[in-house]
Amino acid sequence: MILNAFINKDETWLLWAILVGIAALSIFLEQRYQFAAKLTGAIIALVGAMILSNLNIIPIESPVYDQVWEYVIPLAIPLLLFRSNIFKIWKESRRLLFIFLISSVGTVVGVAAGFLLLHQFIPELDKIGAMMTGSYIGGGVNFAALSTKFQTPGELVSATVVADNSVMAFYFIVLITLPNMKFVKKYFKRLYTSNDDGNSNQAEAYWKRNEISLKDIAYSISIAFALVAISFKISELVNEYIPKNNHFMEILVSIIGDQFLLLTTLTLVTVAMFSKFFENLNASDELGTFLIYIFFVVIGVPASIPIIIKTAPLLFIFVAVILIFNLSITLFFGKLFKFNIEEMLLASNANAGGPTTAAALAISKGWQGLVGPILIIGTLGYVIGNYVGTLMGYFLGQFM
């Protein structure tokens, strides 16, 4: 039996205070202590939330966490793109597309391998495999669509969600940690290099005190709100009024009506049109990064070991197998085709966690030049996820 958490899921202010407090503490530790800087503040935030949820202090689910996904992440994206160069983003996006598609193949191979190992022990694994194929190429939208298409039993859907969220929390730690490992530094090309030796704290140096005025804060926040509002309204209108009466129109609407693709595009166009204004606008990087740290706290919450043991131990293994194959194939072919380690990890992340979490990884590691490109390329997964997932479901169904 799993007891209720000490803090109720509806205690909104208390939970917000904890999320923001952990994010602030993570930044303090990262900039104050060398060991914490090597761990990165993102891992500290994620692990801090995992500890609190496993000690049953905070709940696994809460409307507060949903608010982070619905409001905090959309606001963070434009804030962190205000200094982006649209021409550099277009050039880098073409490179990322290839490694993203390779990583998608890794997902398919991982699902097939996991199915081969576990289909005798997990009921209706063909349907779960279809859902996870769509989810680990696209995202939650594809997961929901495929669970409906294949009429997966509700209890299996719930258990799979638990396994997915839990494994992903650990996977983010792996992705954040990998670039700092010695064998990765030795054998893989790096786009961003940092001095990990000595006593200097790179995080503290990067986030040195800047001159920020009240106008900077006001302009940054108000423009971010406006961009999110306009983009999401356009997305709503596109999905409501453009008919989806054939496959071509479905694909077209899924592209031009995607909230985050619209938000990214509108932000980049706005920045290009008013480049001089945004070049002189301070505070946006700081505000956006702090919001991303809150997001990393939320990612760590679902990794509850008692719930994994109770609901989904075999599904936990199945999901882990998918991610192991995804990452292995991405790294192998990424190395073969001379991609940078940053591009490989972001491609794998965009497949498994979607474009927003991949952007969060890029931000947390200081890979600012890759934030825009991975948001754009990661959105492609939403388009192809349902098709690949459907094919996978029919293929695996022959062996049940």
Cα separations (Å) of 339 from 96, 97, 146, 331? 9, 12, 32, 9
CB neighbourhood size of 259 (10 A): 18
Per the model's pLDDT, the better-predicted residue between 281 and 110 turns out to be 110
Give the span between the Cα atoms of 59 and 211, in whole angstroms.
39
Average pLDDT over the chain, rounded to an integer: 85
- The secondary structure of 97-152 as a DSSP string is HHHHHHHHHHHHHHHHHHHHHHTTTSTTHHHHHHHHHHHTTS-HHHHHHHHHHTT-
Q: List the alpha helices (DSSP H) in 281-370.
A: 284-300, 305-311, 313-336, 341-353, 355-364
Q: What is the mean pLDDT of residues 240-244?
A: 83
Identify the sign of the CA torsion 140, 145, 149, 155: positive
Residue 311: which pLDDT band, with cuts at 50, 70 and 90? low
Give the per-residue pLDDT at 193.
65
pLDDT for 2: 52
360 to 227, 289, 336, 355: CA distances (angstroms): 19, 9, 26, 9
> Which amino acid, one-letter code, is at 393?
G
DSSP states along 347-390: HHHHHHH-HHHHHHHHHHTT-GGGHHHHHHHHHHHHHHHHHHHH
Please state the rounded mean pLDDT for residues 385-393: 88
Q: Is 120 exposed, middle or buried (0-12, 13-18, 19+ CB in 10 A)?
A: exposed
Find out whether 168 and 348 touch, Cβ atoms under 8 Å.
no
Tell me how far apart the alpha carbons of residues 358 and 299 are, in angstroms, rounded to a whole number: 12
List all residues 6 or more positions away from 78 whose beta carbon is below 8 Å from its beta carbon: 223, 224, 227, 228, 263, 267, 288
Exposed, middle or buried by CB within 10 Å (0-12, 13-18, 19+), for 183?
exposed
pLDDT-derived band at 305, boundaries 50, 70, 90: confident
Using one digit for the tens of pLDDT, what is the confidence trace for 329-351? 999 999 999 999 999 999 999 99
User: pTM for the whole thing?
Assistant: 0.74
d(CA 10, CA 87): 45
Between the CA atoms of 152, 154, 155 and 156, what dihedral angle is there, to the nearest 10 degrees?
Answer: 20
The pLDDT tens digits of the residues spanning 120-131 come to: 988 899 999 999
The listed range with the strongest mean pLDDT (183-192, 313-322, 358-367) is 313-322
**Residue predicted with more confidence, 323 or 146:** 323
Determine the pLDDT at residue 47.
85
Poorest-pLDDT segment among 85-89, 252-256, 311-315: 85-89
Average pLDDT (9-27) is: 94
pLDDT at 25: 94
Distance CA 81, CA 237 (A): 24
For residue 213, pLDDT over 80 is answered with yes
Q: What is the pLDDT of residue 203?
A: 54
Q: Return the SS3 of 189.
A: strand
197, pLDDT greater than 50: no
